[in-house]
Amino acid sequence: MDAVAVSICSGMARGRATWGESLRMGGVFALFQAAMPAIGYALGAGFRGAIEAYDHWIAFALLAGVGAHMIKESLDADAPCSPEPFATRRLILLGLATSVDALAVGLTLALIDVPFAFSIAVIGLVTFMLCVPAVHAGARLGSRFAKGAEAAGGIVLIAIGCRILWQHLA
């Protein structure tokens, strides 16, 4: 759901999105959401405490940083709305930020009796199928709200980061 929220915010910040852009975003998010549990699974239960001790801080820092940058850009009256929310660098950063906590999911998959490959495939497919239309839904909303949408997107990213941090610390 974090990836879906970011997809909506990216569409809102841009105000429009092509099918190619939404497919790229959905693909990057699906890849990261599937790869992180696979990495967690490969690391195994032996490293569980070390990964879980820091994953929430990494996700929080990445999401808060990107969110703060979006808010800063929205406050600059001369700057265009989010120069390129679908740029490769930004997509990779957002994909990483929204999926770091999925390492723990992979560690859990290593400890329970579930079909690993099927689980990873479902995670990736569902992420893709939800993120692609979310970009277009956000774009429809964003074209009506212009700069405010970018600030709202930044606030949502920071809120997601805070939620991840809260869940792990509470």
Q: What confidence tens digit (pLDDT) does each residue in 115-160 have? A: 889 999 999 999 999 999 999 998 888 766 656 766 777 788 788 8
Where does the pLDDT of residue 112 fall: very low under 50, low under 70, confident under 90, or very high at 90 and above? Answer: low
The pTM assigned to this predicted structure is 0.72
Structure confidence at residue 84 as a pLDDT band (50, 70, 90):
confident
Tens of pLDDT, residues 5-46: 888 888 887 778 899 999 999 999 999 999 998 988 887 656
Instruction: Quickly tell me which residue has 């490293």 as its tokens.
Output: 47
What contacts 53, CB < 8 A, 6 or more positions away? Answer: none
Note the pLDDT of residue 20.
94
Task: Give the torsion sign (CA, 51, 57, 63, 65).
Answer: negative
